[in-house]
Amino acid sequence: MLVVMNPNAPKEHIERVREKILKLDCKPHEIFGKDNIAIAVLGNTKDIDKEDLSILPSVQHVLRVSKKYKLVSRMMKNEDTVLDLNGTTIGGKDLFIVAGPCSVEERESVLETAGQLNELGVKFFRAGAYKPRSSPYAFQGLKLKGLQYLDDVKKEFGMQIVTEVLNPRTINEVAEVADILQIGARNMQNFTLLEEAGATGKPILLKRGMSATVEDLLLSAEYIAAQNNSKIILCERGIRTFEKATRNTLDLNAIPVVKKHSHLPIVVDPSHGIGIADKVPAMALASVAAGADGLMLEVHHSPEDAWSDGFQTLNMADFKSLLDKVKQLAPIVGKELTI
Amino acid sequence: MLVVMNPNAPKEHIERVREKILKLDCKPHEIFGKDNIAIAVLGNTKDIDKEDLSILPSVQHVLRVSKKYKLVSRMMKNEDTVLDLNGTTIGGKDLFIVAGPCSVEERESVLETAGQLNELGVKFFRAGAYKPRSSPYAFQGLKLKGLQYLDDVKKEFGMQIVTEVLNPRTINEVAEVADILQIGARNMQNFTLLEEAGATGKPILLKRGMSATVEDLLLSAEYIAAQNNSKIILCERGIRTFEKATRNTLDLNAIPVVKKHSHLPIVVDPSHGIGIADKVPAMALASVAAGADGLMLEVHHSPEDAWSDGFQTLNMADFKSLLDKVKQLAPIVGKELTI
Amino acid sequence: MLVVMNPNAPKEHIERVREKILKLDCKPHEIFGKDNIAIAVLGNTKDIDKEDLSILPSVQHVLRVSKKYKLVSRMMKNEDTVLDLNGTTIGGKDLFIVAGPCSVEERESVLETAGQLNELGVKFFRAGAYKPRSSPYAFQGLKLKGLQYLDDVKKEFGMQIVTEVLNPRTINEVAEVADILQIGARNMQNFTLLEEAGATGKPILLKRGMSATVEDLLLSAEYIAAQNNSKIILCERGIRTFEKATRNTLDLNAIPVVKKHSHLPIVVDPSHGIGIADKVPAMALASVAAGADGLMLEVHHSPEDAWSDGFQTLNMADFKSLLDKVKQLAPIVGKELTI
Amino acid sequence: MLVVMNPNAPKEHIERVREKILKLDCKPHEIFGKDNIAIAVLGNTKDIDKEDLSILPSVQHVLRVSKKYKLVSRMMKNEDTVLDLNGTTIGGKDLFIVAGPCSVEERESVLETAGQLNELGVKFFRAGAYKPRSSPYAFQGLKLKGLQYLDDVKKEFGMQIVTEVLNPRTINEVAEVADILQIGARNMQNFTLLEEAGATGKPILLKRGMSATVEDLLLSAEYIAAQNNSKIILCERGIRTFEKATRNTLDLNAIPVVKKHSHLPIVVDPSHGIGIADKVPAMALASVAAGADGLMLEVHHSPEDAWSDGFQTLNMADFKSLLDKVKQLAPIVGKELTI
């Protein structure tokens, strides 16, 4: 249920709506839009009479929302959400680029890759200190040492850090270094992690699960939003189908579908999505053309030496050449690449 | 098995290779490339000794091909296949655009849509006279009358016709009007139809089946090629996945995969692929950005009046606006839209 | 639309309903059930007033059917369809067993396998004379010679023949030998083939397509039924999913779903379904337990010498041991194995 | 890598192998089988020379294992794992039955259902105190109060409890009441949860993820086994496919595949698998016929009043009737239902 109020409703009117909602055993949640103020009524709204709320002052109308998600929906907030991370915007005109190796590797290697990316103007560095791996015997990341190296990248180059958080117990140590907390595909429905990561207030990059529908993705985003954290970036990274020629099937259809139903930004990870380095640039360009707000790419100064995922990792030359094309393409779809 | 010969091998050397292959109970099939001449050895090659062929004059080397398809593979012919249809090329620099309603409708309606497309410079008109329908009670197309109207479009506007052939028994009547025979997703593995359509020598637009892998698609193309018909255009049109928000999941990953393994052109049908009109332009742009050689689009002068698939059909204004963007985007990926 | 009449309605009342339907530009199609007579109204029924039909004598009521299929639905006919093929019933209490090699092979081999199956009491022999193959270079079947050998099996052992028809042009030659025409998964939506095979009046075994929903399967069956041929046997044979450990994913869920919505019998082909011989018996037993009306199995007197699909083909000992277990299991689900 | 030793190898020989493995910077893990003792070498074994281990006394041979999972594989241990839970065995001849409502509901309701199940001889009661829900606004379970009611069931009827654990932070409180910790499909790759739940030493029922391959499932089981906890029960509960007629596609193919590659027991949850109550018995019987070691079923004394999943929940009469059929079916596949 959604209470739509005049954009210039006085504070006391908003307060009266909030109080009424609480009296009805529900929880209010406001979003201040350009054209109006929307107050979501969270909880069991089945037995609430719309009249109880619509008669309050400054209330324009009261809607029952059939979608299972509310806070992240366009119904709640029609304008695109634009995040501002120390001057870089995500979800607006600027294309957001985050690049780096799959895993944090030895210090020199990480700094080498980061340095080269920094020279290209990349402002967000990605690398996993904690790696979710199907096999318990595969390399699980450098963990604390990895976080330390990411901090070194931050200090050395002033880059912002995007890194994955796997475990509610280590959120705090990751959040100390990360500027954006990444939640991976395997954890998209790890609701404890969503809530605890959301509660940090940090921006969250939420990857779509391998068999998650777009609605599932938006519902998982709603878990974060329900923690009063609207700094959410969705990420398409490939789904599972019968096709065996690619690692996953990057589902770019998700971009216009998300854009229709949600105000949140969506970026694409074509490196995992198609999983073969020489096919990544084609899918990266397609992502931008389809309306993505950004790209997350695996890039390494020497992919053949990468500790993991080398076969899907771009080298610097190919990454630079891709950026050049993205720069040309962006204005056609109303975007800009300023790096 | 593939016999690779010098590009300037004299006719009699080629003939000796052909004769030897026939003697080995196999069938030769030549493709003349820029850098060499490749002769595929079709049939049971397991027991053939490579030496028997490699010692012949002008033979550079003999390869065993592990892929199940040969004639359509890059191994057989490294350069892109470029078709020439009365001056329009497909598979080269020019983007190929085919547009029109889902079905052939009343004469005036068809001519109206065709006329408006013609004014926009569209040279290929699509519309189904024979419609494959899941239900026997759904509209199955105007059939012969529909072909007649398509012929009228041809005569009136000089447009070339792309239309579906469903049935070996009606190939000839369709082929009289069609400039390109379309084989639909449901018939991708209707091998009789592939062979008989292929044998007409007409260009074939072959759509990927809803659960076909890219390898399956290339094998079906091989059926056509084995009829000595190399005028094949592949078409990605969406696969079946668990996602319910879209009609199908348009799989743009297929583009770079096809480009890697085959010399054939590939176009995309985003109308069926995503199946919702307001999301078609995003996917059309993404297709071109991913390297597609063209687009096949459902366009109608009045989509709300369309007899079928109106919900996924673009109107003229949206189609024109899409073409404008495609025109800007094309050069970034080495293509051009000249209409 | 469905006109439900008294079971003892006199002929002239039925005739009046038929005439009225024809006057309304539709086609009548009767099914005589135990409890009533149902007359389907096929065609564009949107503008028909139910009153026009419900006032006719002996008419109980008139229903609008929301399902896209009618003739094959339980709504049209509540009792299970039971086919009688020369004394063997399919769809009733008796379990239907059809067995044999993937392809028709050399005459002695076919007769050897058939003879051994005959000794076990198997009454239906399967083997492909025409084989649909993804690759044009794979063995496509012995064709006419294969049909001849199948005819030899028929004459020698009195077994009935189930064999695939691929091509409208060869239906007649196949139908001369076959007691049941098989339409394969790849041709499930080859509507021309469905109609022409249906029109022969022969029983049709219709396999589910690899990405067909159960509704798609029933709609394809409806194409056959609309040819006044109700002798249809549905066959589940595995769908395509992301799982790579099996050839296909045998979808036994289809059995209770079909049983709920349709009166047609459904059998299962676990050989293609799971595609690994040592796992076929488990899936065959599961099929019967789930309520299947029969099993279609690849069996060979010497699977390692089979020309195709040997890895998924049972040998005689394993087949016999499976039959023994099926015999014990059948009564638990209200069935019987009499061979 | 696997070191296979004589079954009667003296302790000091085993110790020498363990020491050598530790020296090689790896971790030893023994499984004592009937025919031999297998010691897995966990860690980076690429550079280890087999000779280093094969020359040690009592070592029969040393194998490189190509599967990514080891401890749960048949290679490591050929005999089926049979768990003993207070006298009930799982994975042996006895079929394991666990039944109960989806969620823990009001105390009286839970005790009513449990009491009726207990009278039928059911020894394991299931109900979720913590519920993973796609939407943050859906009912998330009674949590601690729910655990209390489960404890009441335990005390009142002596039934053992199977209940889901969602969160590493609440494992201990769940483990105090639960006899078997359930890890749900959404958490199958929540590796932190796998490790922490595994480390409790409690039996774990691990559900297959909705898009997990059987190999993924076994790798997740390996995470638990690597915690020295071999009390693992796998559970098939339906995967995501394109089919819309059922909630999920219950994949019974997983049973013979798991049985081939792993020694762990596997049970089936047809309630979630097909998701429609009147189709659950068919799939439950099919599961047993396919070789499942048990069934997990949603049963309620009054499904229409169930707080969640009522549409897929059996009532007592249908559950009893199903048990009767299972009892008859079990011996055919070498099992027994003793309740």
The sign one gets for the Cα dihedral B155, B160, B163, B168 is positive
Indicate the pLDDT class of residue A207, thresholds 50, 70 and 90. Answer: very high
Inter-chain touch C222–B135, beta carbons under 8 Å: yes
pLDDT (0 to 100) of residue B193: 97
User: Tokens 């449901």 sit at which residue?
Assistant: B186
D97 and D40 part of one domain: no
SS (H, E, C) chain B: CEEEECCCCCHHHHHHHHHHHHHCCCEEEEEECCCCEEEEEECCCCCCCHHHHHCCCCEEEEECCCCCCCCCECCCCCCCCCEEECCEEECCCECEEEEECCECCCHHHHHHHHHHHHHCCCCEEECECCCCCCCCCCCCCCCHHHHHHHHHHHHHHCCEEEEECCCHHHHHHHHHHCCEEEECHHHCCCHHHHHHHHHCCCCEEEECCCCCCHHHHHHHHHHHHCCCCCCEEEEECCECCCCCCCCCECCCCHHHHHHHHECCCEEECHHHHHCCHHHHHHHHHHHHHCCCCEEEEEECCCHHHCCCCHHHCECHHHHHHHHHHHHHHHHHHCCECCC
Counts of helices then strands in chain C (DSSP H, E): 11, 14
Percentage with pLDDT > 70 across chain D: 100
Mean pLDDT, all residues of chain D: 95
**Rg for chain C (alpha carbons), in Å?**
21
Same domain, D58 and D117: no
Q: Does B225 lie in the same domain as B151? A: yes
The chain-wide mean pLDDT, for chain C, equals 95
Q: What confidence category does residue C219 fall into, taking pLDDT thresholds of 50, 70 and 90?
A: very high
Coil/strand/helix, residue D262: strand
Q: Residue D116 belongs to a domain with what CATH number? A: 3.20.20.70
Mean pLDDT across C207-229:
96
Contact A211 D211 (CB under 8 A): yes
Residue of A nearest to D170 (CA): A192
Residue C31 has pLDDT above 90, yes or no: no
Closest to A209 in 3D by CA, of D189, C244, D269: D189
Residues in A 61-80 with any Cβ partner in D closer than 8 A: 68-70
Q: Is the pLDDT of residue A109 over 80?
A: yes
**Rounded to 10 degrees, what is the CA torsion of B181, B186, B189, B195?**
-20
Chain centroid to Cα D213, Å, comes to: 16
B134 touching D (Cβ < 8 Å): no
Q: What is the pLDDT of residues D114-168, one digit of tens each?
A: 999 999 999 999 999 999 999 888 889 999 999 999 999 999 999 999 999 999 9
Are C38 and C134 found together in one domain?
no
Residue contact B244–D244, C-beta within 8 A: yes
Amino acid at C238: G
Does residue D338 belong to any structural domain of this protein? no
- Are the beta carbons of D145 and D127 closer than 8 angstroms? no
pLDDT of residue C182: 98
Cβ–Cβ contact C273 with D under 8 A? yes
How close A68 comes to chain C (CA, Å)?
26
What are the angstrom distances between the C-alpha of C308 and each of B46, C141, C153, D173? 16, 10, 20, 57
pLDDT of C7 above 80:
yes
**Which is nearest to D233 in space by CA: D190, D293, D172?**
D293
Q: Which of B262, B272, B269 is nearest to B215 (CA)?
A: B262
Chain C residue nearest residue B135, CA to CA: C219
Summarised one tens digit per residue, pLDDT across range C126-144 is 999 999 999 888 889 999 9
Which tens digits make up the pLDDT trace of D35-92?
888 898 888 888 888 888 999 999 999 988 777 899 999 988 999 999 999 999 999 9
D72 located within any domain? no
- Assign B65 a pLDDT band (cuts: 50, 70, 90): confident
D244 touches chain B (CB under 8 A): yes
Q: Does B242 touch chain A (CB under 8 A)?
A: yes
Virtual torsion, Cα B84, B88, B94, B95, nearest 10 deg: -110
- A66 has a pLDDT exceeding 80: no
Q: Give yes or no for a contact between B296 and B102, defined as CB atoms under 8 angstroms apart.
A: no
Position with higher pLDDT, D30 vs A257: A257
- Kindly report, residue by residue over D77-103, the tens digit of the pLDDT: 999 999 999 999 999 999 999 999 999
Q: Is residue B235 part of a domain?
A: yes
Regarding whether A54 and A139 lie in a shared domain, the answer is no
Residues 6+ positions from B324 with CB-CB distance below 8 Å: none
Mean pLDDT value across residues B307-327: 95
In a domain, D39, yes or no: yes
D282 lies within 8 A of chain C by CB? yes
Query: Is A76 part of a structural domain of the chain?
Result: no
- D183 and D59 in a common domain: no
DSSP secondary structure string, A224-242? HHTTT---EEEEE--B--S
The predicted pLDDT at position D32 comes to 83
Spell out which residues of chain B touch residue C130, defining contact as CB-CB under 8 Å: none
Cα–Cα distance, D225 to C320 (Å, whole number): 39
**Predicted confidence (pLDDT) at residue A93 exceeds the cutoff of 90:** yes
The pLDDT value given to residue D282: 98
Interchain CB contact of D133 with A (< 8 Å): yes
Contacts of C240 in chain A (CB under 8 A): 242
Asked if residue A75 belongs to a domain, the reply is: no
Q: Which tens digit of pLDDT belongs to each residue from B288-299? A: 999 999 999 999
* Structural domain includes residue D277: yes
Amino acid D241: pLDDT? 97
At C248, the pLDDT band (50, 70, 90 cuts) reads: very high
CB B312 within 8 A of CB B298: yes
Q: Total structural domains in chain C? A: 2
pLDDT over 90, % of chain A: 83
Confidence tier at C30 by pLDDT (50, 70, 90): confident
Residues C212 and C157 in one domain: yes
Are A244 and C240 inside 8 Å of each other by CB? no
C221, two tokens = 């069956």
C228 to chain A, any CB pair closer than 8 A? The answer is: no
Do residues A101 and A152 share a domain?
yes
Tell me, yes or no, whether C144 and C226 share the same domain.
yes
Residue D185: pLDDT above 90?
Answer: yes
Reported as a pLDDT band with limits 50, 70 and 90, residue C323 is: very high
pTM here is: 0.92
Q: Which chains touch D (3 or more CB pairs under 8 A)?
A: A, B, C
Mean pLDDT of chain B: 95
Q: How far is CA A134 from the centre of its chain?
A: 23
A239 with B243: Cβ contact below 8 A: yes
Tell me what pLDDT residue D44 has.
Answer: 80
Chain A residues with CB-CB distance to B255 below 8 A? 282, 286
- Place D5 in a pLDDT band, splitting at 50, 70 and 90: very high
- CA dist., res. A35 & res. A37, Å (int): 7
ipTM for the assembly: 0.91
Q: Which residue has the higher pLDDT, D35 or B106?
A: B106
CA distance B241 to B160: 34
- Per-window interface: D 289-308 vs C, CB < 8 A: 289-291
* Residue A77, in any domain of the structure: no
Give the H/E segment covering residue D159.
none
Question: Residue D238 class from Cβ within 10 Å (0-12 exposed, 13-18 middle, 19+ buried)?
Answer: buried
Instruction: Locate the DSSP E strands across chain D.
Output: 2-5, 27-32, 37-42, 59-63, 83-85, 88-90, 96-100, 124-126, 160-164, 180-183, 204-207, 232-236, 266-268, 294-298
D134 — contact with chain B (CB < 8 Å)?
A: no
Look up residue A180 and give its two tokens.
Answer: 């954006």
DSSP one-letter code for D300: -
pLDDT score recorded for residue D194: 97
C92 and C202 share a domain? Answer: yes
Q: Cβ neighbours of residue A121 under 8 Å, at least 6 residues apart?
A: A338, A339
Could you please report the per-residue DSSP string of C153-191? HHHHH--EEEEE---GGGHHHHHHH-SEEEE-GGGTT-H
Q: Does B249 touch chain A (CB under 8 A)?
A: yes
Cα separation, C196 vs C212, in Å, equals: 21
Chains in touch with B (≥3 Cβ pairs < 8 A): A, C, D
Q: Are residues C12 and C143 in the same domain?
A: no
Closest listed residue to residue A252, CA positions, set B252, B289, B214 = B252
CB contact C245 to A (< 8 Å): no
The residue with tokens 């063997």 is C88
Q: Is B56 on the interface with A (CB under 8 A)?
A: no
CATH number at residue A16: 3.30.70.1140
Residue D108 sits in which domain range? 83-333
Do A317 and A177 have their domain in common? yes
